[in-house]
A and B are shown apart, each in its own frame.
Chain A
């Protein structure tokens, strides 16, 4: 069974936000609009966060793309009172939108603040409505439930179906999330962390590799390669 993970090379990342845009189109995250965005109600499964240290003229800026960390020891899953959020056998943390009671315990418990709440029923401007991803697995989420990055788990299902239709064995390289596919700088890598020969497991053991807040014991499956 693969253990899916991601590596993001911060030296290559140009912070162009293509991943953020690709994620939105792939996963049908609603448009908040300027007022709601100002109120902190945007839903962005992937965000590029600026970490700014120091003051002018000695400023150190690190731009970190932040999907869900898909932790092996997720703080969010522990606290869910109804098991609406769970980790599947391949290590992907998912949410059952039909079961979520909207208590927002997981959003509060996640140290990476990757979980988003549907404050209103999802909305899109007319022009965008026609371009929603028709995949039922990413159908817009209803009001009052929590959602977040799924590593494009629907693409995994599709990749398996495709391999089966073509009469060949499914390979880890058949499956790739939208953000990884889109990245113009090839800064993102995706694959099976348990396969010692995969590119991601090789990169994840590089001396440049680190994870966000490793000290919390959450065991994230998103690795970063230090810049500089």
Chain B
């Protein structure tokens, strides 16, 4: 038995064939990813000296990417877990596309950490000698758990649709049919199975909600737990969390609009979905400016010497262009666009979302670099500077390419809109504790 879904045909349409365009796109993305891997090997052989890092700017582009990718990952959990807990049923068509962002950006957040390590081959020391006094271990634990549970969550909600693919898509190549057969784990689509699945997903959603708050807070605590000016503030946790929700939700808008266009999903992804996301984004971007004001007013009003060096560097110094650019990109332009142009207009909404994500990448960078440029013993290094090297830039590109590659490949083999969650009705019937024998 499979759920009835009037959009089944259009949702399954992209899966039937891999086009030449796909092959070209995948080759380009894979090429960029391989370039990044090659450069990482080069960096491993030579040492981190091939980056622009120095003393005192020990953390920069790689760590920015780490924070950014973990932030993007927020999207899926926010849409599918938090909104599930909140009982927002409009989110159903978005869930899989959003969760896929989570699933495919997390590994590249982890990869960014590996790229940043001086001795990545010693990563297992974290298992052998790990100690919970270090916020970095909180990070490893939280991100590891997050990766694991979002994989389970994603797979579980994919299960009924894999089974549907197994039964409906008989015209695809043999290996693909076999893949569906194996991955479907013998799902039969009985009412009892759906009932159990819903219960598990509800339970997991609560757990995932707690986990996602933890993950994004803990990421910031790597910085917040030090006594460095600009980092050592209790606000850094909530601020990172809010930033993650903002950039994650904006990423959902971007990805959905592309899927909608390329795979002709206009009917399954109506404009009203985008309008709901628009409302969320307006709220989050207002929340973001609130955080900015709270943070900088506190630091600026306090007027402590070390703090002021960082604040001034951002407001009027070397990082002023990036700082004010960020405010324009994340707050001013998106807010104006969403309010005056965004309603019912996907193009404008996507444009604003792209601006938000560029701005949010800059925000992560602006949190990291200026603080290190002006360390407490700042007199010593009044001329500290940092600029990413070509290796760092190419590895960053590779991280984004890798994520896009996984995403685009996934959408050609699995339905990107959950068929069973958007179905008009699920198979109904008396819940029995007898194993079902029929197959639909």
Contacts and interface: CB of A to CB of B under 8 A. Distances in A.
Listed residue (B116, B126, B380, B384) with the most chain A CB atoms within 10 angstroms of its CB: B380
B58 A82 contact: no
A53 to B, nearest CB: 8
A144 B118 contact: yes
A116 interface: yes
B379 A119 contact: no
B129 interface: yes
B269 to A, nearest CB: 42
A107 B58 contact: yes
A205 B119 CA distance: 43
A111 B55 contact: no
A83 B116 CA distance: 19
A213 interface: yes
Interface in A131-165: 143-146
Interface in A100-134: 100-105, 107-109, 111-113, 116-121
A105 B117 contact: no
A112 B377 contact: yes
B134 A78 contact: yes
Interface stretch (B43-51, B143-151, B157-165, B393-401): B43-51
Nearest to B54: A40
Nearest to B137: A81
Interface string B365-380: 0000000100111011
Given A78-B133, A111-B376, A102 B117 contact: yes
Contacts of B292: none
Contacts of B133: 78-79
Nearest to A213: B376
A1 interface: no
Interface residues of A, number: 45
A143 B391 CA distance: 18
A99 B59 contact: no
B222 interface: yes
B377 A101 contact: no
Please classify the interface of chain B as helix (H, G, I), strand (E, B), loop, or mixed, using the class held by over half of its residues: loop
Interface stretch (A2-10, A14-22, A44-52, A187-195): A44-52
A80 interface: yes
A9 to B, nearest CB: 20
A113 B55 contact: yes
A109 B116 CA distance: 16
A211 interface: no
Given A108-B372, A117-B118, A83 B131 contact: yes
A169 interface: no
Please classify the interface of chain A as helix (H, G, I), strand (E, B), loop, or mixed, using the class held by over half of its residues: loop
A49 B133 CA distance: 32
B34 interface: no
B140 interface: yes
A86 to B, nearest CB: 10
Listed residue (A99, A109, A216) with the most chain B CB atoms within 10 angstroms of its CB: A109
A200 interface: no
Contacts of B126: 81-82, 101
A81 B49 CA distance: 23
A216 B225 CA distance: 13
A103 B47 contact: no
A41 interface: yes
Given A40-B384, A105-B134, A120 B47 contact: yes
A98 to B, nearest CB: 9
Contacts of B385: 40
B359 to A, nearest CB: 24
A109 B375 CA distance: 10
Listed residue (A41, A81, A102, A144) with the most chain B CB atoms within 10 angstroms of its CB: A81
A47 B372 CA distance: 19
A75 interface: yes
A67 to B, nearest CB: 13
Nearest to A44: B55
Contacts of B379: 49-52
Contacts of A100: 118-119, 122
A39 interface: yes
Given A40-B56, A103-B118, A81 B140 contact: yes
B226 interface: yes
B306 to A, nearest CB: 9
B144 to A, nearest CB: 13
27 contacts: A39-B54, A40-B55, A40-B56, A40-B57, A40-B381, A40-B384, A41-B54, A41-B55, A42-B55, A66-B380, A78-B134, A79-B225, A81-B126, A83-B131, A99-B122, A99-B129, A101-B119, A101-B123, A101-B125, A104-B59, A105-B134, A105-B135, A108-B59, A109-B225, A111-B227, A118-B47, A216-B376
A-B interface, 10 closest residue pairs, ranked by CB to CB distance from nearest: A102-B118, A144-B118, A40-B54, A119-B49, A81-B136, A81-B134, A143-B47, A120-B47, A120-B49, A82-B129
Given A80-B131, A103-B136, 10 more contacts: A47-B380, A82-B129, A101-B126, A104-B116, A111-B228, A117-B118, A119-B53, A120-B49, A145-B119, A216-B376
